[in-house]
Chains A and B, each alone.
Chain A
């Protein structure tokens, strides 16, 4: 991820943070044991009393809405997934608890093929609607058995582990359904609209 210029020298004995791994990782990734906190803005303080999660259809109408108690009353599940950040770290076997997008969007009647995920502040990210469904995505409210911490996206974040982790928007607040793919916060400035780690789709020109 470093920039310009030809490397003029080699620092003997420097290895950096990479560790060898027996488990195959997506190309260009390395394994970490900690859980890096990376953000594009300040950690928002979210009141559970005013929190809601909405689904907005193509015509702009709010077709689904849950308050926090309503959201927490939905059926949820525990999942164990590997996550891959576009900044090259991967973390295996992460444990989350959340509500599947199949529950949130199940039976929805829409012409939309894409979604724009909307989060606190100005953060957005886009993906095909089909990539939210079929057991591939959750709105997670717990990590490793504990309430999701604010710095990791609490009270609730999107979890869509088959794509690079910037798509798993922290502090998620809703889904805008769209007929056309619309680039989100990072996609608008150069990141890939889809973002499959196994095909190393990091940037526009990948």
Chain B
């Protein structure tokens, strides 16, 4: 788990204007739990290297892993990953990492997922795994994005939202937000409406930029959820 492995890029798929899904094959990948991430390292010809953490977007699937990378124009790593990386290229990865921010499939409790921007990625893995296993427990995702064009895997999210799973997408900047999108921020009112009441004792997972995570975590605790039931993962400006 702590060792670097060499992964092969199977394909890169444009997801939105700014984001690309990178499909990797990792020989001897030990498997992962939804919510975990990996570290990815790029090395230049002169030996200079840079690494970043990326949440695993896909549910466990043998040696296959999907990453969703959002391009930051002034980033050091994301421009390369979203523009230059090609099928057949090799990248070094280390993982899976993270034993705290993980969704256990056997957990019978309902789950509330709240993601801001690229913070939705580890939550997407949870939703996908829940669906793949056909779990009966409730799982609701609240996903805050800026504009409709920034919403990752929009169609797939709509398809996943069936049976015990529900998805609410709120847009903070799209003035023309129309159903199925809501307009505004994820605040206490939204969480109370689409989340689970505190006495249902859900597991809550909150992920995204630090200010988003802290505001949502505070709102959830304010609604009566036990702090230990609200798991958080904060992303830096590189989006994780």
Contacts and interface: CB of A to CB of B under 8 A. Distances in A.
Interface of A: 2, 4-5, 7-18, 34
A9 B43 contact: yes
Contacts of B91: 9, 11
A7 B49 contact: yes
Contacts of A7: 43, 47, 49
A11 B6 CA distance: 11
A17 B238 CA distance: 14
Given A7-B49, A9-B92, 18 more contacts: A2-B49, A5-B4, A7-B43, A7-B47, A8-B4, A10-B43, A10-B44, A11-B42, A11-B80, A11-B89, A12-B89, A14-B42, A14-B44, A15-B44, A16-B42, A16-B48, A16-B50, A18-B48
Contacts, number: 49
Interface residues of B, number: 21
A14 B84 contact: yes
A9 B44 contact: no
A34 B237 CA distance: 15
Interface in B30-83: 41-45, 47-51, 74, 76, 80
Interface in B95-153: none
Given A14-B43, A15-B44, A16-B48, A9 B80 contact: no
A40 B142 CA distance: 32
A10 B47 CA distance: 8
Given A2-B49, A10-B44, A16 B90 contact: no
Contacts of A17: 50, 76
A147 B89 CA distance: 48
Contact of A11 (B4, B44, B74): B44
Nearest to A5: B4
Contacts of B51: 2
Contact of A13 (B41, B76, B80): B80
B175 interface: no
B84 to A, nearest CB: 5
A11 to B, nearest CB: 5
A17 B84 CA distance: 15
Contacts of A5: 3-4
A52 to B, nearest CB: 32
A10 B80 CA distance: 13
A34 B72 CA distance: 15
Nearest to B5: A8
A14 B92 contact: no
B92 A8 contact: yes
Contacts of A14: 42-44, 80, 84
Contacts of B45: 10, 12
Contacts of A34: 74
Contacts of B92: 8-9
Among A8, A10, A14: residue with most chain B CB under 10 A: A14
6 contacts: A7-B47, A7-B49, A10-B44, A11-B42, A11-B43, A14-B42
